Amino acid sequence: MTAAPAQSLEWKMPSTRKVAVISLILTESALFTIFLAAYCFYMGKSLNGPFPSQVLKFPLLATAALLSSSATVVLSEMALHRGNKGAFHLWWAVTIALGTYFLWFTGTEWNHLIFTDHLTLATNVFGTTFYSLVGLHASHVVIGLFLLTLVLVLSLLGKIPADHTEHIEMISWYWHFVDAIWVVVVTAVYIISTRF
Amino acid sequence: MNHDTPDENFQIPPPERIGEERGSLTRIVQEMVFTVDHKKLGLMYIASGLLFFVVSGLMAVVIRIQLSGPRNHFVDPDTFNRLFTMHGTAMVFLVGMPIIFGFANYLVPLMIGARDMAFPRMNAFGFWVFFFSGVLLYFSYLGAPGLYAAGSAPDIGWFAYSPLTAKAFSRGHSTDYWTLSLLLGGIGSIATSINIIVTVACLRCKGMILGRMPLFVWLFLVVAFMVIIAMPPLSACQIMLILDRYCGAHFFDTQAGGSAVLWQHFFWIFGHPEVYILILPGFAITSEVIPVFSRKPIFGYPVMVAASVMIAFISLGVWAHHMFTVGMSSITNTFFAISTLLVAIPTGIKIFNWLGTMYGGKLRFELPMLFCIGFLFQFLIAGLTGVMLAIAPFDWQLNNSYFVVAHFHYVLIGGLLYTIFAGIYYWYPKALGKMPDFKLGIWHLVLFTVGFHLTFLPQHVSGALGMPRRIYTYDAGRGWDLWNLLSSIGVIFQVAGILFFVFNLIYSYVKGKKAGDDPWDAWSLEWATSSPPPSYNFETIPEVRSRRPLWDLKHPDDPDWKYE
């Protein structure tokens, strides 16, 4: 503006996409915190059964599937950065498959809980908080799977420009967030609350 | 940013293609609906906020008429419950939030030398979601009777304590309108706040390092962070309430082991930060106005930033001071009393820094400055009653009394609304290119200040004498008659003041004298462009070397960057 000493020419701002997704993850975390707090607050406060210790089994395979899908999505991204489209599609599809398995597991688990154990949202406060917390997470898995599938389909159709790697990376960030939340949920629901 | 040079191939479609010529009603409506320009959206936010302000202000007028004397029968108890619920909900979510977002939208990109917000379409989305959440809330008067023919507008109070919201006690759909409206409004607020964060983080012009941002931008960055952390708990509350009401869940159902107190915790985890979300923008406006009209740079800039961040941080851990009377443990009470008292420290720092800015300055008593001085005094009173209420045993006596009503109206009217008036008078010339009329503004200031104090000062007394809030009438001879009458008389002055304000806005637009680019001789970047600014904001993106870029421009012999 005025005759001032030369500033460093470097003026780099962070990417809008990254800041936006980090903010989104922050706000989603706040939402999960409240449902998690409700779950923890009501641990052991159900007036009638079924209780967590009677009906919940640790979902080993589903957890393994979801957590390893974080690894496969990283492999997929590394392939994308190398420019290896085939490997990118392959690992991306594996990620979708693992996520879908997780969702299928939740479906069968809920089916069993509802029709065999007779636990619904209205049975007791355990049912209320369990379905709302796990359901909130599952709904995020659904959103994540939708986004992942969208990318796969568009990429296979060749509709994703080559310079859109960061867009794809953002979806993987969201997926990592969904996985990370599961670690917290599974600890509270299937490890801590099964003592009640 | 990469759009420094306008795209030469871009052409504005000829107006006759969609609407008629420019200025016709269809054309204006079309522009409003299609626009993604942060300045237009900002003005639309403020305009719709003022519209809802008038509507829910009129509800308060009815409340005061009803309470003007003992055993008054102006409205029946059910209507009264709806009035205070709608008044409270609308003033927080449909007046406070949109007006502060309007200011953020209009000014943040201009102040950091950007051409628009980071996500213009998401910005428009945020506005329309907010607007329809407001329409939805008011539509409850017509829609809520529903199939049950029970209920009208929500009548559960703005914090909707359980079990009032349970299906058994709130039949019909009135509570559902409240719930869905707040859920929708929350989505809009979060979208706008993410937009603000990204804009501030990524779109600053060259040289605008964080330490050179105007305090206004700093405070809105803090506010946006508070919104994205504090708004989801409210959304979670609403989702739980819907599950309780429609899916048989037991979150707040004490008969099935649920807890009504949990609602209070979750609501106030949102509700208390919300108070700071509303008042920090007031600080933001004050921090711009006071230096310009004292002809001095802000006193203690880094401390002001630190105090703002501290307020935001502490405010996330004070919520249960709304709940001292529900019977928490003494440890909990003590913790929340102390954390609440801690807020007074950064707030006090701010007040001293504003005074430090004014001290020794060449004060110019223009309208924005006068409203900000009003803010300083009134907010101090609000802060002092706040400190009183933070002390748990004192709160046991006065919680849910008119003392609390007086306290938070001193915060929100004496604090926030006065700075909003200051902000509107300060940036009116920038947004509309005309100067606001000084004489009409003084009438507004005097009448409104008299009315405000006449209404709310006596409520401290009636509250201390034991008058509970939200009662629709009271017996004579309890010592409350005079104070309520004074309160109601004050409303006449407030309404007269608002009439002058609204008249001034219209009159100055038609008859006001041209403002020019920089009528207040100010220092931040929004005054570097024309009034009103062009849709691209700046012809060339400016470059900044100090906290007062326009000072550097006007005083090349003595620029600020030599000393910072």
Q: For residue A17, is it within any domain?
A: no
> In which band, very low, low, confident or very high, does the pLDDT at A196 lie, cut at 50, 70 and 90?
confident
Q: Which residues of B touch A122 (CB under 8 A)?
A: 247-250
CA distance B500 to chain A (A): 41
- B281 in Cβ contact with B230 (< 8 Å): no
pLDDT digits (tens, 9 = 90+) for A39-91: 999 999 999 989 999 999 999 999 999 999 999 999 999 999 998 999 999 99
Q: Do B545 and A42 touch (CB under 8 A)?
A: no
Q: What pLDDT is recorded for position B2?
A: 46
Which residues span the domain enclosing A130? 49-195
- B324 in Cβ contact with B392 (< 8 Å): yes
Q: Which residues of A touch B256 (CB under 8 A)?
A: 47, 124-125
Q: For residue A36, is it within any domain?
A: no
When pLDDT is averaged across residues B479-499 and rounded to a whole number, the result is: 96
pLDDT digits (tens, 9 = 90+) for A133-178: 999 999 999 999 999 999 999 999 999 888 899 999 999 999 999 9
Which letter, b or e, does each residue of B73-93 get, where b requires 16 or more Cβ atoms within 10 Å of its Cβ?
A: ebbeeeebbbbbbbbbbbbbb
Q: Which residues of A touch B236 (CB under 8 A)?
A: 31, 34-35, 38
Instruction: Give the separation between CA B17 and CA B27, rounded to whole angstroms.
Output: 10
If you compute the radius of gyration of chain A from its CA atoms, what whole number of angstroms results?
A: 21
Q: Is the dihedral of CA B488, B489, B495, B497 positive or negative?
A: negative
Q: Which residues of A touch B119 (CB under 8 A)?
A: 16, 20
First to last CA, chain A: 68
Q: For residue A146, is it within any domain?
A: yes
Tell whether the model's pLDDT for residue B118 goes beyond 50. Answer: yes
ipTM of the complex: 0.93
Q: For residue A96, is it within any domain?
A: yes
CA distance B189 to chain A (A): 11
Residue B401 phi/psi, 5-degree rounding, is: -105, 175
Instruction: Give the separation between CA A69 and CA A67, rounded to whole angstroms.
Output: 5
Dig out the tokens for B284 from the structure.
């933001």
Dig out the tokens for B55 from the structure.
């509507």
First to last CA, chain B: 26
When pLDDT is averaged across residues B381-399 and rounded to a whole number, the result is: 95
> In which band, very low, low, confident or very high, does the pLDDT at B147 lie, cut at 50, 70 and 90?
low
Q: For residue A24, is it within any domain?
A: no
Q: For residue A41, is it within any domain?
A: no
CATH numbers and ranges of domains, chain B: 22-562 (1.20.210.10)
Q: Please report, for the domain that includes residue A115, its CATH number.
A: 1.20.120.80
Q: Do A2 and B201 touch (CB under 8 A)?
A: no
Q: What pLDDT is recorded for position A88?
A: 95
Which of A9, A21, A31, A133 is most worth mutating to test chain B (most B CB atoms within 10 A of its CB)? A31
- Of residues B193, B202, B552, nearest to A16 (C-beta): B202
pTM of this structure? 0.93
Strands (E) across A18-176 are located at: none
When pLDDT is averaged across residues B91-114 and rounded to a whole number, the result is: 96
Q: For residue A155, is it within any domain?
A: yes
Structural domains counted in chain A: 1
- Of residues B193, B236, B250, nearest to A128 (C-beta): B250
Q: Do A26 and B229 touch (CB under 8 A)?
A: yes
Return the closest-CA partner of residue B374 out of B496, B290, B280, B278: B290
Q: Which residues of A touch B258 (CB under 8 A)?
A: 42, 125, 128
Q: For residue A71, is it within any domain?
A: yes
